[in-house]
Structures are given as structure tokens and as C-alpha cells.
Amino acid sequence: MGAHFRYAQFAHKADQEGYKGIAYMFTALATSELIHAQNYERTLALLGAAIDRHEPPSPEVSDTKANLIAAANAEIRTIENVYPVILENLRGEDHPEALRMVGYSWESHKQHRDIIEKIRKWSPDYFETVAKRINDETDRYFVCQICGSTLYEIPNSKCPICEYPSAHYRPIEQRTFL
């Protein structure tokens, strides 16, 4: 839930600062992260594990430019360091459902990184120009309700991550921000 909450807070900050396109992107990523959290919760319940429902700590929220850089760094760190270790640890266990859910999240995080990197690449020197362009040209976001895959358009037949039918994708509403 921490990543969901962090992205939701980043979206709120971007909206306050007038970066509607970036707020929309963070909302799409927050939606995906909520699906990951729900998948993990269901998997833990199947395994009979206790579920800790504590309030996540308040994320550090800065200005939108800094939040964008922090989000990209967190995605890269998670992709390169966190998920490989988790998957390696799970491979020694007999929990195929847990492996599947972590695999979904890992692949989805790679999509998040790619979305953020498109913006972050130009942000250090040209943030305002890039942010204005995003507000004018923001793509629609669609999120798979099974695995959290986040795309600009619904795939033709099936999700590239979970391989369920593309009917499981839902559009993220733009009206809030755009």
C-alpha cells in the first residue's frame, strides 16, 4: 500500500502545482500499485499468513520535479534490487501463486519505469517545457485489473504481463486532472 499511497500523494502535489498530465500519470501508477497490494493481500490470505493493515508511513513529498526523480529512482531500485531478491527467495518455496503475483508486479514496475523515464529524461534541464507538453499531449492510461499492467492503449487480445484477455483493462479517468 505504501507505493500506492506515495503515488497518490505525488499526483495530488502535481495537481496542486498545475501539472495535470503528470498528476494523471501518477494516478495511473497509483491505481496499478493498488492492484499489486490487493494481489499480495489475497496471496498472503491463501497462504494463511497474518495481514498487517497498519497505516503506511507518510511519504516524503517534494515539488513535482523532485517527486518525478524520486519515483524513477525508486522504480529502478525496485526493479534491479528488490524483485530479483524476492523472486530468488520465493523459488525455494512451494508457492507458485506468490511467484506469479511478484512476477506480475515486477513486469508492471518495468512499465512504470519506462513511463516515468520518458518524462524524467528531460526534466533536469527542461522540466517546465516537458511538463507543459505533457499537459497538452497526455496519452490515456489503461490498467489491467488482474496484474496492474499500465499502458497507453488496450492491447488487441491479451495483457502482455498476465496474458488474461484485454477486457480486464480499465481506463484511468482523466476528468480529475485534465
pLDDT of residue 151: 93
Per-residue pLDDT tens over the stretch 89-132: 888 888 899 999 999 999 999 998 888 877 767 666 777 887 77
CA atoms of 58 and 54, how far apart (whole Å): 12
Per-domain boundaries in the chain: 2-140
pLDDT digits (tens, 9 = 90+) for 60-82: 889 998 998 888 888 889 999 99
Most confident of 7-11, 115-119, 159-163: 159-163
Per residue, what are the HEC states of the chain? CHHHHHHHHHHHHHHHCCCHHHHHHHHHHHHHHHHHHHHHHHHHHHCCCCCCCCCCCCCCCCCHHHHHHHHHHHHHHHHHHHHHHHHHHHHCCCCHHHHHHHHHHHHHHHHHHHHHHHHHCCHHHHHHHHHHHHHHHCCCCEEECCCCCEECCCCCCECCCCCCEHHHEEECCCCCCC
Q: Give the sign of the dihedral formed by CA 21, CA 12, CA 66, CA 72.
A: negative
Give the pLDDT band of residue 13 (cuts 50, 70, 90): very high
- Please state which CATH class domain 2-140 belongs to: mainly alpha
pLDDT of residue 178: 43
pTM of the model: 0.88
d(CA 71, CA 10): 9
Cell of 91: 523459488
